[in-house]
Structure 1
Amino acid sequence: MKIQRVVSDAKGRSDAVSFNGLAYVVAYDPNAASGIEAQTRNSLQFLDAKLAEVRSNKEALLQARVYLSDMKMKADMDEIWCEWIGTSKNWPQRACVGADLGDDVTLIEIVVIAVQKPEAL
């Protein structure tokens, strides 16, 4: 089986990689919007696009890790997440972790593992 890579604009990494029926995707706000609500919405939109590139979607998520630069933002992020993820049939196993994301602009990164879908999504 061949490894598929969706190369990132950032040197040395991919936004998504798929192999053997699984997709591994990282999402962030490419616009670095102001505030956790906007960054969460933009990150989830980016995640939807990258999942589609590797023939998957949010209904096929197995696991998600949400990294926040400040855990005080978790409730606001959760509100947007729950709006996006929908009913419990879509809920992945999820953890939320406080992390230094490397700058004062990035508030959230999301890392997921999903099952790839057949060609006809």
Structure 2
Amino acid sequence: MSNLTHVNPGDRMSGAVVHNGVAYLSGQVALGAGGKSVTEQTQNILDLLDATMEKAGTDKSKVLSASIWLSDISTFDEMNAVWDAWVADVTAPARATVEAKLAAPQFTVEIALIVAV
């Protein structure tokens, strides 16, 4: 049987699940910046993801894949400005970005990661 580690477990979901050397981080929204600009929301999310990766024993240099959802694809360049700065000192991972209706209107960005541990 494989070993599972749950990071920040909750009733509905865990912040991450680590299995066989891979951390699967749940999609994060900007809980600290809801209703603010895409720039502020993206930065808040990346800060949350950095903290979750640290608890999982990894960091952004080991991100394998990122999934990004934007409530309005016209904000793609605004989100990318923050993302590009975040990955500037590492090799950028595989990534997909799509437009989607998010769970609540105050959130305009959601990001999920798959990260090697």
Query: Does TM, normalized by the shorter one, top 0.5?
Result: yes
TM-score (norm 1): 0.87
1:47 maps to 2:49:
yes
Q: Distance in 2 between the 1:59 and 1:44 partners?
A: 13
Give the deviation of 1:19 after TM superposition.
0.6
SS across alignment from 2:74: helix
Report deviation, 1:102: 1.7
The residue that corresponds to 1:106 in the other structure is 107
Q: 1:33: Cα distance to partner?
A: 4.8
Aligned length: 114
Unaligned ranges ≥5, structure 1: 117-121
> Identity across aligned pairs (percent)?
29
Structure 2 counterpart SS, 1:29: coil
Check the 8 A contact 1:58/1:90 in 2, yes or no: no
Looking at structure 2, the residues matched to 5 and 33 of structure 1 have their Cα atoms a distance apart, in angstroms, of: 29
Q: CA deviation at 1:23?
A: 0.3
Distance, in Å, in 1 between the alignment partners of 2:9 and 2:100 is 21
Moved over 4 A (4+): none
- Taking structure 2 as the reference length, the TM-score comes to 0.90
| Aligned pair partner of 2:38 in 33, 36, 39 | 36
1:6 partner amino acid? V
Query: What CA distance in whole angstroms lies between the structure 2 residues aligned with 1:92 and 1:67?
Result: 16
Give matches, 1:63-102, under 5 Å.
Answer: 63-87=65-89, 89-102=90-103
One-letter amino acid of the counterpart of residue 53, structure 1: K
CA deviations on 1:73-118 (whole Å, 9 max, x unpaired) are 110000000001114x4210011011111221011111111100xx
Question: What is the distance in 1 between the residues matched to 2:49 and 2:8?
Answer: 14
1:2, CA displacement in angstroms?
1.8
Comparing 42-51 with 94-103, which one deviates more in the overlay? 94-103
Q: Distance in 2 between matches of 1:57 and 1:28?
A: 19
CA RMSD between the two structures: 1.4
Q: Is the 8 A contact 1:23 1:114 kept in 2?
A: yes
